[in-house]
Copies of this chain bind each other. A is one copy, B any other.
Amino acid sequence: MNIKEVKRALIGEPFPTSHEIHERLDKVRALAIFASDPISSNAYATEAIMSVLIVLGSGALAMTLPLAMGVAALVLLVVFSYIQTILHYPDGGGAYTVAKDNLGTYPALLAGAALLTDYILTVSVSVSAGVRAVTSAVPEVFEYRVWIALLAIAFITWVNLRGVRESGTVFAFPTYAFVGGVLLVIGFGLVRYFGLFGAPPLPHMEETVAPQESLAGFAYIWLLLRAFAGGCTALTGIEAISNGVQAFKPPESRNAAITMVAMGTIAMSLFVGITFLATHMALIPEEAESILSQMTRNVTQGGFLYFWVQFFTAMILFLAANTGYQDFPRLSSFLARDGFLPRWMQNRGDRLVFSSGIVVLAAISSLIVVVFRADEIAMLPLYALGVMLSFTLSQAGMSNLMRKVGTLKPGENMHTGITRIHYESGWRWKRAVNIIGAITTGVVFIILTATKFAEGAWIIALAIPIMVYTFYRVHKHYDKVANALTTEHFEEQNLGEVADIALVPIADVHRGTLLALQYAKRISSDVRAISVSTTPAMHQRIEARWARFPRLTDGVELVIIDYDYRDILEPLVNYIEHVNSTEFPCQLVTIVVPEFVSSNMFGQFLHNQTANMLRTRLKYMPDVIVIDVPYHIAADEKPSNDVTQRYLVL
């Protein structure tokens, strides 16, 4: 079974390009697919706030609910703002597209870099949180969590490399099962909280945690800001719908906007509900069991519903990770298309997916999982930073777009480069919302960076500028290439002239070199065999062997260079340079290299790598063309028993 067959078995038969499917989703399935990321944030967002407040002791956890309300308000603002984007960019308007259309190249690259970091962390965080849902229910496997997480990433990678062709139905179930399960838990919790139907009151945790710190004034506010920043992870993934408007059934924009509102409502109901019950029961963040698991266990007393919620928490989190596999390869293919990433990142693989993007994403997110020991709470300081920056840029871009809308007269329309805009009556207040959104998310971005800097946000603060610089360097390189290859102002006679010379470096005279000589004689009337001799014996031997083949060597000059060192590459290259510069300046000189090809790796390894090194050196010489004349050793060639019969190959 060779590599190709292994690939076929794993990935499946290649799809023809024309088989591409453009599936359209109804709102119910679209919600499930696009909302898994923001809805699944509920598995850790409340905990992210509580784990900061706990340093002030159990008492401070009462601040969790007000902070969660603040996060919920932010979510609604962003949702409203993105509805504008959906309506104006019906072909898909991620932050990169909107920033490129309205703010220019550098803001767009900034948004692109920010989103790429965000997508990577979506995978790492969601998978780790999913594994924690598993280990909360089955504590025995806690010590294997890194391996389980890596296995999950490998599985998701495999599914995505095969290409996901199943209808949205398969994906819809876990999302609704999770939402339904958590809503039931919240419902039961509220019934018990209000003492309805004679239900037993909710348990209140007795154990309290003493304050580790006592803070006042600015330090207290700083801590609240840090807790708020933690909760902002609930905002990740909100932008997904704006990228995928074309996946909706018509009317696309309208359906996408309605789905967006539904998504925001559901996500925020769960977030506030979970936070309310968790703080009321005075739950304490623990490493081994998540807050959501503790809450569900206490409300349901660990019955069937508990395992239902835990199971679908894990499922929806793995689905959320899967959205990273949709977003990252797509955005990197956009960047590659625009010349900011290596162009091969826009090539689709055998199964019509962006294979290289998928592999890069899997590698980086696995690395993060290993470094952070699959602890998603520790990763959160890196998360949400990218998404906030992209929100800010996207809304700043939308505000610019709205200004342009304002310049149109009723009935007028214009094309911005990416989308077509029409006059809108309410452009002023829409623009105001965008500006408020941009400022708010911008401030939250600064809070996030400042409060989480030492905990890991510095990694992202460092990575984003480096990525933008890389985009710039890549783009500059492609420009250089385009310039060099351009056929503008190009005269057909301007190409280099080919000199009538063929130089054949040889180490010995054998079938391989004789074949190369024969080829050289066919393409040139001035053929010279060049041999570097390091001992007098070698000199004599090559002359003697040369004389044995009068027909093939007829008309060919034999140049033997005597050399008192062992590295024969130097004199060969020097001779070639000398011939080029003195006899054929500014012309293309042809080098015919007899190459010895063995059918197995073992054979390749045994031979002096001189031919390879020579080829590499010649490749960088400006006026040299290399011809490889391979001489094949068949695998079934019978070995002779004559040990003394040896030939030198380059």
**A429 contacts across to B, CB distance below 8 A:** none
Q: Could you say which of B350, B603, B626 contacts A627, with CB atoms under 8 Å apart?
A: B626
A63 at the B interface (CB under 8 A) = no
A196 at the B interface (CB under 8 A) = no
Is there an interface contact between A486 and B645, defined as CB atoms closer than 8 Å? Answer: yes
A422 at the B interface (CB under 8 A) = no
A599 and B619 in contact, given A608-B344, A639-B483 (Cβ under 8 angstroms)? no
A348 and B566 in contact, given A486-B510, A606-B342, A607-B343 (Cβ under 8 angstroms)? yes
Is there an interface contact between A608 and B347, defined as CB atoms closer than 8 Å? Answer: yes
A477 and B599 in contact, given A498-B522, A566-B348 (Cβ under 8 angstroms)? no
Q: Binary interface profile of A, 4-34, with partner B (CB < 8 Å = 1, else 0)? A: 0000000000111110000000000000000
A643 at the B interface (CB under 8 A) = yes
Is there an interface contact between A514 and B486, defined as CB atoms closer than 8 Å? Answer: no
A409 CB to nearest B CB, Å: 32
A625 and B627 in contact, given A492-B551, A510-B485, A523-B523 (Cβ under 8 angstroms)? yes
A205 CB to nearest B CB, Å: 47
A628 at the B interface (CB under 8 A) = yes
Is there an interface contact between B565 and A534, defined as CB atoms closer than 8 Å? Answer: no
A559 at the B interface (CB under 8 A) = no
**A597 contacts across to B, CB distance below 8 A:** 619-620
**A487 contacts across to B, CB distance below 8 A:** 509-511, 514, 545, 548-549
Closest residue of B by beta carbon distance from A512: B485
Closest residue of B by beta carbon distance from A629: B625
Is there an interface contact between B608 and A486, defined as CB atoms closer than 8 Å? Answer: no
A482 at the B interface (CB under 8 A) = yes
A518 at the B interface (CB under 8 A) = yes
Is there an interface contact between B510 and A640, defined as CB atoms closer than 8 Å? Answer: no
Interface hits, A588-607 → B, CB 8 Å: 588, 595-599, 602-603, 605-607
Interface hits, A487-511 → B, CB 8 Å: 487-488, 490, 492-493, 495-496, 498, 509-511
A647 at the B interface (CB under 8 A) = yes
Is there an interface contact between B647 and A485, defined as CB atoms closer than 8 Å? Answer: yes
Is there an interface contact between B343 and A606, defined as CB atoms closer than 8 Å? Answer: yes
A89 to B522, CA, bound (A): 54
A509 CB to nearest B CB, Å: 7
A630 at the B interface (CB under 8 A) = yes
Q: Please state the number of chain copies in the assembly.
A: 2
Closest residue of B by beta carbon distance from A491: B551
Q: Could you say which of B495, B625, B627 contacts A630, with CB atoms under 8 Å apart?
A: B625
Is there an interface contact between B640 and A566, defined as CB atoms closer than 8 Å? Answer: no
A415 at the B interface (CB under 8 A) = no
**A632 contacts across to B, CB distance below 8 A:** 484, 620, 622
A534 to B347, CA, bound (A): 11
A96 CB to nearest B CB, Å: 15
Is there an interface contact between A641 and B479, defined as CB atoms closer than 8 Å? Answer: yes
Q: Binary interface profile of A, 337-351, with partner B (CB < 8 Å = 1, else 0)? A: 011001110011110
Is there an interface contact between B565 and A14, defined as CB atoms closer than 8 Å? Answer: yes
A484 to B647, CA, bound (A): 10
Interface hits, A630-645 → B, CB 8 Å: 630-634, 637-643, 645
**A477 contacts across to B, CB distance below 8 A:** 598, 602-603, 606
Is there an interface contact between A474 and B606, defined as CB atoms closer than 8 Å? Answer: yes
**A349 contacts across to B, CB distance below 8 A:** 566
A408 to B504, CA, bound (A): 54
A329 CB to nearest B CB, Å: 14
Is there an interface contact between B486 and A511, defined as CB atoms closer than 8 Å? Answer: yes
**A17 contacts across to B, CB distance below 8 A:** 534-535, 564-566
Is there an interface contact between A498 and B481, defined as CB atoms closer than 8 Å? Answer: no
A323 CB to nearest B CB, Å: 24
**A479 contacts across to B, CB distance below 8 A:** 639-643
**A578 contacts across to B, CB distance below 8 A:** none
A567 at the B interface (CB under 8 A) = yes
Cross-chain pairs A/B with CB under 8 angstroms, 26 sampled: A17-B564, A17-B565, A344-B607, A347-B566, A350-B567, A474-B606, A477-B603, A479-B643, A481-B598, A482-B646, A482-B647, A483-B638, A483-B645, A484-B511, A484-B633, A486-B510, A486-B511, A487-B511, A487-B514, A492-B514, A495-B515, A498-B522, A597-B620, A619-B628, A619-B630, A620-B632
* Further 5 A-B residue pairs, CB within 8 A, beyond A483-B638, A484-B633, A486-B640: A17-B566, A347-B566, A480-B638, A486-B510, A619-B628
Please report A residues at the B interface, Cβ cutoff 8 Å: 14-18, 338-339, 342-344, 347-350, 352, 473-488, 490, 492-493, 495-496, 498, 509-512, 514-515, 518-519, 522-523, 534-535, 545, 548-549, 551-552, 564-567, 588, 595-599, 602-603, 605-609, 619-620, 622, 624-634, 637-643, 645-647, 649
